[in-house]
């Protein structure tokens, strides 16, 4: 319900307790050492997997798979039963004893419990002031409808918090790492040199978050009145340091067909990556903590690929972890940020009258790795009635076709690609087209403040590939339920999308600050 959509409250600080379906684990998580604000999302998920979730909380298709496993393994209950479900009645020591019987549980759960206890102790007893500060890092609304209300007309009313602001130091990087990247992108496409490169327009693409965050931090303090984020000029005062390298744009500076006749590109992304590291390693504040209190945007999965091991100690702002190794990125230290949507925002009313297509997808059919499911879904759905599924590449014509398709469809298919996520999800949000996510490894931005189950349908890959399953399930969803999804999509868009508001930026800073608060001693 919209009325229950709060960003930050005292007792719902980082996780939503409705994800814990087992009473034993609710009690365990509510103990003195594991308060709600002390559980990272990854740990929350791992603990939740140990409890038996109710069918309502599971993605479509998972309930059927779980029930099949239960039939094969469940034995009559007895005091000595070793059923997989017996842990629901065990005490914590017994649970840990069971974990030792499985190498997987031994390696994951034992580590999780130890880290959480240390983490919770430090967070609860050693950093009360910082924690209190972070509880005011995002506005707390009584309902999601407040997001799009008139309160945005007054920054003083919206962002006037009693806590101390988070202090951010914006590095003044050499031009080659910021506006110089924009200039090279323009020159490579036949543009003319400009004496004032700061007037150059940042080119539109799906990873424009690096530009929006940079521009927000460039605002004068007079425009940041009441903001929980304070840009400081003295690095000694900073809580963290932001490195505004346009790493995603740097990847695409050189077009497939250069404007000039030269075969050799004039710009090298790899050279710029190496030069950035050389510059950072000369900075006193980088060397002080080996970059651990620095934040770098790397939203494209290939961004900073040459030097990623040099910046893995820093907080990385990424769209997913599809190309990162376990020692390079994780939810413990890094932040998932939204893609920038690429199609026009739907301007119509919340309704299904003009949405005659049941399910729509347009994109590259053939992908690598986890994206192979796309081809299988094509084969399964391309002949279905009132389903449009098309192969398309990135172009203006394709974006126009995708805009029309999403604006006239009830549901939009979001399968995995080369990486678990794509900007298609955020195109779906601005289109009020209910996302149907078929990506088992997807990580979503701001999961601690956005309940994605209210705006999207998650389907297990194995279930989605069953003949008739996906279409039959979607046809069974009532018009009233679709309208509820659309209302939630409309309410959540200011947080999940870069629509001119501050909320995506504030959400990023909030999560970055929480990580520094919680793990600064590690």
| pLDDT tens-place string over residues 262-320 | 566 789 999 999 999 999 999 999 999 999 999 999 999 899 999 999 999 999 999 98
Claim to verify: residue 239 and residue 267 sit in the same structural domain: yes
Measured over the CA atoms of residue 297, residue 300, residue 301 and residue 305, the dihedral's sign is: negative
Please give the tally of structural domains in the chain. Answer: 3
* 324 CB-side CA count, 13 A: 26
Please indicate, yes or no, whether residues 477 and 510 belong to a single structural domain of this protein. Answer: no
Share of the chain above pLDDT 90, in %: 37
Going by C-alpha positions, the residue among 168, 294, 285, 172 that lies closest to residue 231 is 168
- Domain assignment of residue 84, yes or no: no
Residues 227 and 182 placed together within one structural domain of the fold:
yes
Is the pLDDT reported for residue 343 higher than 50? Answer: yes
Q: Is residue 408 in a domain? A: yes
**Residue 279 counted as domain residue:** yes
Residue 204 is assigned to a structural domain of this protein: yes
Question: What is the C-alpha to C-alpha distance for residues 86 and 434, in angstroms, rounded to an integer?
Answer: 38
Same domain for 289 and 363? no
Between CA 401 and CA 407, with CA 406 as vertex, the angle to 5 degrees is 100
Terminal-to-terminal C-alpha distance of the chain: 38
**46: containing domain:** 1-53+89-126
Q: Does 295 fall in a domain? A: yes
506 and 489 inside one domain: no
**Do both 169 and 282 map to the same domain?**
yes
Does 260 lie in the same domain as 402?
no
**Closest to 413 (Cα-Cα) out of 401, 425, 404, 403:** 425
Structure tokens at 301: 């999965």
The answer as to whether 437 is a domain residue is yes
pLDDT at 151 over 50: no
Share of the chain above pLDDT 70, in %: 63
Q: Is the domain of 440 the same as that of 308?
A: no
Q: Is the pLDDT of residue 83 over 80?
A: no
**Neighbour tally for 44: CB within 10 Å:** 23
Who contacts 332 (Cβ-Cβ below 8 Å, separation ≥6)? 40, 42, 515, 519
Please tell me whether residues 335 and 374 are part of one structural domain.
no
Q: Assess if residue 9 is contained within a domain.
A: yes
470 & 513 share domain: no
Q: What are phi and psi of 409, to 5 degrees?
A: -125, 150
One domain, residues 180 and 119: no
Residue 287 lies inside a defined structural domain of this protein: yes
Q: Do 193 and 117 share a structural domain?
A: no
Q: Which two tokens stand for residue 230?
A: 């304070």
Query: Cβ atoms within 10 A of the Cβ of 312, count?
Result: 18
């Amino acid at each position: 319900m919209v009325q229950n959509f709060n960003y930050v409250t005292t007792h719902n600080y980082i996780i939503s307790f409705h994800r814990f379906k087992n009473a034993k684990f609710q009690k365990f998580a509510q103990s003195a050492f594991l308060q709600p604000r002390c559980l990272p999302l990854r740990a929350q998920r791992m603990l939740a997997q140990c409890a038996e979730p109710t069918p309502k909380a599971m993605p479509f298709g998972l309930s059927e798979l779980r029930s099949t496993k239960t039939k094969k393994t469940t034995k009559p209950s007895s005091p000595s039963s070793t059923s997989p479900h017996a842990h629901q009645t065990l005490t914590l020591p017994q649970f840990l004893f069971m974990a030792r019987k499985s190498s997987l549980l031994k390696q994951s759960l034992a580590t999780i419990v130890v880290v959480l206890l240390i983490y919770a102790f430090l967070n609860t007893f050693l950093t009360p002031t910082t924690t209190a500060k972070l509880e005011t890092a995002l506005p707390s609304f009584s309902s999601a409808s407040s997001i799009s209300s008139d309160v945005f007309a007054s920054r003083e009313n919206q962002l006037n918090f009693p806590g101390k602001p988070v202090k951010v130091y914006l590095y003044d990087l050499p031009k080659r790492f910021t506006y110089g990247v924009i200039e090279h992108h323009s020159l490579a496409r036949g543009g003319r040199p400009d004496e004032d490169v700061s007037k150059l327009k940042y080119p539109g693409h799906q990873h424009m978050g690096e530009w929006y965050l940079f521009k927000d931090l460039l605002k004068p303090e007079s425009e940041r009145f009441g903001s929980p984020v304070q840009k400081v000029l003295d690095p000694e005062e900073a809580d963290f340091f932001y490195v505004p390298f346009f790493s995603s744009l740097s990847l695409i500076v050189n077009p497939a067909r250069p404007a000039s006749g030269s075969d050799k590109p004039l710009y090298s992304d790899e050279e710029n990556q190496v030069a950035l590291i050389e510059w950072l390693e000369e900075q006193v504040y980088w060397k002080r903590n080996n970059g651990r209190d620095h934040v770098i945007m790397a939203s494209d999965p290939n961004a900073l690929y040459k030097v990623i091991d040099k910046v893995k100690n820093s907080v990385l702002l990424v769209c997913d972890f599809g190309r990162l190794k376990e020692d390079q990125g994780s939810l413990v230290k890094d932040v998932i940020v939204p893609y920038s949507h690429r199609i026009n925002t739907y301007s119509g009313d919340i309704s299904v009258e003009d949405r005659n297509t049941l399910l729509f997808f347009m994109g590259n059919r053939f992908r690598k790795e986890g994206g192979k499911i796309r081809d299988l879904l094509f084969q399964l759905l391309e002949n279905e009635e009132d389903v449009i599924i098309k192969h398309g590449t990135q172009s203006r014509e394709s974006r126009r076709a995708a805009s029309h398709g999403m604006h006239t469809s009830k549901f939009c298919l979001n399968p995995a690609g080369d990486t678990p996520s794509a900007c298609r999800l955020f195109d779906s949000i601005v289109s009020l087209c209910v996302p149907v996510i078929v990506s088992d490894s997807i990580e979503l931005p701001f999961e601690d403040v956005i309940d994605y189950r209210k705006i999207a349908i998650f389907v297990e890959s194995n279930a989605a590939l069953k003949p008739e399953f996906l279409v039959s399930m979607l046809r069974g969803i009532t018009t009233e339920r679709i309208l509820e999804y659309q209302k939630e999509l409309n309410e959540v868009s200011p947080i999940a999308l870069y629509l001119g508001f501050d909320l995506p930026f504030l959400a990023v800073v909030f999560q970055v600050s929480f990580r520094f608060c919680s793990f600064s001693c590690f």
